Every structure is written in structure tokens, then in C-alpha cells.
């Protein structure tokens, strides 16, 4: 908050006081926690404590992150401020703010920082925490994630440091490229942070459509794609080994899906405009933005017709690779599901055989299979619950369903006139906003991390 206050002070904006006050409250709260929890004893966290720490962190951080939105000149209500902060920390990219083109530098920078912090946070959780908690099949990457860093890096803090170098390096690279493409330095900084976090909060109401510059759109597409790849592969790449990245079936499948969708939607848009390069560029940018959960937009792709809307809806349920900043279901879970279906079909053809589902040539354990299947079941049940809740509140079916996908999948924009690419969440009823807030948090934490705490057995010693 202090650097943001300085930025506001340098631009002669009175909002610097809001960030100083927020910083003081955060410091007092943090110091109180330190003194309360200070102890001479040191012990490892239990499974229950790790779950609680993970979930509470994603609630406490937005509570503090909401303070500047409440105290600054934009004067958001607590609901709207908390919604904006949760959207930032979870890298969802849904917003209740309008008039961004004239917003203060501090508010815009704070939104970018929230997403940037949330992006590195979820990468660490996905690599260092979720595999150990065996959430949603993430244990499939447990040994790989830790073997990659070696036995000298057993702690989450050390893993976070290694990932932080890569995360920071990608951000600097995006900043330099955006600046070279014509963005103002401040815009380049904020958009670099929200691109690498696959968050999608922009400094303009028109999002990336504010820039009618092909080089910016292509550069953003590249960095969104890079941010949707497993960060473990970047570590291996920096250590001189490109084979794991090239051989990763999850990465190959991800690029195959992106390529297929881009070609299809480029043809759809070309049929409407008869422009080849703009059609390809728009299809590439918006496809990558939605499938990675970034949520930028260069135009209202709802005008491309019902087929394109259905494609965007489906890829929003896809997501990028596990161990990245991207969100939603993730590619590897669909691969595991396809492998399980394939194995089951082979068993039906030959009942006497013993056939195991495989992932990258290795047998998938029953524990991983059941975990992935449980994730699918809980995800779509949660999706139905959020959709029905939003419908009960009074939203139309398209807004309810797409809003559920956009928030539970942490994608950002939905479909329809209200929360579509050209709209935002500001006009939703308060109850609908709180429904979306809950959906964003449980979606970002892979659902099971939250739902396991609802089981009475979880609280037993």
C-alpha cells in the first residue's frame, strides 16, 4: 500500500491518504497477529491447519485489500470494495468499477497489484500446498513438483522464491514489450502485472480494446499463453532442460485446443467482416484471454453469433495448465477423465483384462482418479447451485449461468448485456454480488479445499 500511496502523492492525488490509512490498519493487524502467535515452540502444520491457513488467507487478504477502495475518492460500499478485492486476489478480473479511464493512478495500480500478488500466491499454493493436500487430483504433480526443486528446497517459502524469480522476470518482460509497443509506462506496468497473473483488470473500461494496436494484442496473447503453462517447466527450462516442456502432454493438449478454437473462431469472424488479419488477431486474443481465465477483451465477441458464444462458454470451462496462474477446471483433469473413459471402454470390450488408465504413460492411481472425479462432480454441482442462486435472486438465465462459470471458474466476464464483455458486475443486486464473491473464493482454491472444512470429521482431533 505504501508504494501506491507514493504513486498517488507524486501525481498530486489526495487518495494517497486512503492508502496510508489502509497501510496503518494492515500493519496494526499484522503486528497484533505476530504478538498473539509468538511462541518459542516450532512445529509443522497439520493437515487441518494447512487447509484452514489456505482458505483464511484468501479471505483475510481481500478484507485488507478492500480498505483503499472504501477510503479513496471512489468511495465503494463494503460489498463492492470486497468484491473488487476478491476479484483481484483470486485473479478473476470481474469488476464493479466504471469510469476507469479517469480513475486515480493509485486505484488503478492497487487493482493491478492485487492481481499480481494473487497470481504468485496461487502458483505457490498449486505447487507447494494442493499436491500435499491431495485436492482435485493435484497429487499427480506432487513428486514432480518437489523433485524439480530438489531436496534442498523442501519448504513452501523456498519454492515461492524460485517461482518468484520467474514470475517477476515474466512481468518485467511484459512491461518492456508493452512499452516498446506504444503503451505509456504506467499502463504498461499495470497491464504487465494483470497479464502475467492472468487476471485481466485493465486501466480502461474498453479493456484491451482501448488499444487499436496489433503488436499489443499479439504481445498480450503471447504472455497470457506463457502464464498458462506450468511454472515448474520454466524452472526446468532455466536449468537448461527444454525436454520436459516439449514432452508435457498437458502443454501439447492445451496448445492443440487453443489452435483449434482460434482457427474456428477466426473463420466465424472472417465470415462476418471479410478481414483476414483482424479476424485472426481478434480470435487469437479473445480465445487465449478466455481459456486462460484472463478476461481481457478487444471487442464484444457476443456479436459474432450464437455459435461463437457457445465456444467461448465451453473454453471458459477448460482453463490452462495445472501449476500456472490460470484457472477453471484445468486441462489435465480432462485428460485424466478421457483416460478413465478410454480404459473403461477397453474393459467393456475385454472384461477379463486388467487395464489401468494412464497419464503420460504412467498408471493413474485409484486415489488420483477418485479425486479428479470428485472434483468434476463438486465443480458442476457448485456450478448448478450458483446458477440457481443467481436465478432465484432475479437474474436472467444467460447472466446466471455465465456469471456462475465466470466467477466459479475465475474467468471474469460473462455473457449477456449485464456482465458480458461490454458490461460489468456493478448493477447486480447485493445478494448476487455476495454469491459471486463466494464462488470466486471457492473456485480459486479448487473447491475441495473449502468444502472439506464443512465436514464434521475435519474438525475431529
Task: Indicate whether 148 pLDDT > 90.
Answer: no
DSSP 8-state secondary structure symbol assigned to residue 326: -
DSSP 274-289: --HHHHHHHHHHHHHH
Average pLDDT rounded to a whole number, residues 108-132: 82
DSSP 8-state secondary structure symbol assigned to residue 155: S
Residue 207, C-alpha cell as written in the block: 479493456
Model pLDDT, residue 346: 84
Position 375 confidence tier, pLDDT thresholds 50, 70, 90: confident
* pLDDT tens column, 255-264: 999 999 999 9
* pLDDT tens column, 380-416: 999 999 999 999 999 999 999 999 999 999 898 888 8
CA-to-CA separations, 334 to 22, 171, 224, 327, 338, in angstroms, rounded: 43, 29, 21, 14, 6
Count CB-CB contacts under 10 A for residue 351. 6
The CA distance from 301 to 282, in Å, is: 9
Between 191 and 103, the higher pLDDT residue: 191
Residues 195 and 227: beta-carbon distance below 8 Å: yes
If you average pLDDT over every residue of the chain, what do you get?
86
The CA distance from 366 to 359, in Å, is: 12
Average pLDDT rounded to a whole number, residues 148-163: 55
Max Cα distance, the chain (Å): 77
Residue 311, C-alpha cell as written in the block: 465456444
Position 48 confidence tier, pLDDT thresholds 50, 70, 90: confident
Q: Model's pTM, two decimal places?
A: 0.88
Model pLDDT, residue 290: 93
The CA distance from 261 to 265, in Å, is: 6
Alpha helices in 156-230 (DSSP H): 156-180, 185-196, 214-227
% of residues, the chain, pLDDT over 90: 46
Task: Indicate whether 137 pLDDT > 70.
Answer: no
Beta bridge pairs of residue 362: 359
Position 123 confidence tier, pLDDT thresholds 50, 70, 90: confident
Amino acid at each position: 500500500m505504501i508504494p501506491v500511496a507514493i504513486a498517488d502523492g507524486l501525481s498530486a492525488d489526495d487518495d494517497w491518504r486512503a492508502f496510508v490509512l489502509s497501510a496503518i490498519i494492515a500493519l496494526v493487524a499484522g503486528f497484533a497477529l505476530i504478538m498473539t502467535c509468538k511462541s518459542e515452540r516450532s512445529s509443522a502444520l497439520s493437515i487441518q491447519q494447512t487447509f484452514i491457513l489456505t482458505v483464511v488467507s484468501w479471505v483475510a487478504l481481500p478484507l485488507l485489500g478492500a480498505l483503499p477502495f472504501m477510503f479513496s475518492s471512489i468511495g465503494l460500499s463494503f460489498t463492492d470494495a470486497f468484491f473488487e478485492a476478491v476479484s483481484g486476489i483470486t485473479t478473476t478480473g470481474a469488476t464493479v468499477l466504471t469510469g476507469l479511464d479517469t480513475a486515480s493512478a493509485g486505484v488503478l495500480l492497487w487493482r493491478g497489484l492485487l492481481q499480481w500478488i494473487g497470481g504468485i500466491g496461487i502458483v505457490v499454493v498449486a505447487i507447494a500446498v494442493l499436491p500435499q493436500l491431495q485436492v482435485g487430483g493435484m497429487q499427480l504433480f506432487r513428486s514432480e513438483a518437489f523433485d524439480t526443486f530438489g531436496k534442498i528446497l523442501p519448504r513452501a517459502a523456498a519454492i515461492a522464491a524460485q517461482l518468484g524469480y520467474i514470475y517477476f522476470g515474466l512481468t518485467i518482460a511484459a512491461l518492456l514489450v508493452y512499452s516498446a509497443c506504444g503503451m505509456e509506462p504506467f499502463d504498461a506496468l499495470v497491464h504487465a502485472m494483470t497479464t502475467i497473473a492472468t487476471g485481466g483488470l485493465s486501466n480502461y473500461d474498453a479493456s484491451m480494446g482501448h488499444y487499436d494496436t496489433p503488436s499489443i494484442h499479439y504481445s498480450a496473447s503471447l504472455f497470457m499463453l506463457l502464464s498458462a503453462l506450468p511454472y515448474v517447466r520454466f524452472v526446468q527450462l532455466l536449468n537448461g532442460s527444454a525436454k520436459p516442456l516439449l514432452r508435457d502432454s498437458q502443454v501439447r493438449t492445451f496448445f492443440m485446443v487453443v489452435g483449434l478454437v482460434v482457427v474456428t473462431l477466426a473463420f466465424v469472424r472472417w465470415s462476418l467482416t471479410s478481414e483476414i488479419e483482424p479476424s485472426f488477431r481478434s480470435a487469437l486474443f479473445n480465445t487465449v484471454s478466455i481459456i486462460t481465465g484472463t478476461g481481457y477483451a478487444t471487442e464484444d465477441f457476443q456479436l459474432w453469433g450464437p455459435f461463437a458464444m457457445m465456444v467461448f462458454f465451453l473454453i471458459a470451462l477448460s482453463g490452462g495448465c495445472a501449476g500456472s496462474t490460470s484457472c477453471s477446471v484445468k486441462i489435465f483433469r480432462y485428460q485424466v477423465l478421457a483416460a478413465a473413459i478410454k480404459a473403461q471402454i477397453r474393459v467393456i470390450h475385454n472384461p477379463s483384462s486388467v487395464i489401468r488408465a494412464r497419464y503420460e504413460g504412467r498408471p493413474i492411481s485409484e486415489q488420483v482418479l477418485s479425486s479428479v472425479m470428485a472434483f468434476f462432480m463438486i465443480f458442476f454441482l457448485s456450478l448448478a447451485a450458483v446458477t440457481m442462486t443467481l436465478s432465484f435472486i432475479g437474474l436472467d438465465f444467460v447472466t446466471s449461468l455465465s456469471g456462475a462459470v465466470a466467477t466459479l471458474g475465475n474467468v471474469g466476464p460473462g455473457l449477456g448485456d449485464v456482465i458480458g464483455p461490454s458490461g460489468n458486475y456493478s448493477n447486480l443486486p447485493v445478494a448476487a454480488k455476495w454469491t459471486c464473491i463466494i464462488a470466486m473464493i471457492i473456485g480459486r482454491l479448487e473447491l475441495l479445499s473449502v468444502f472439506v472444512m464443512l465436514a464434521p470429521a475435519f474438525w475431529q482431533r
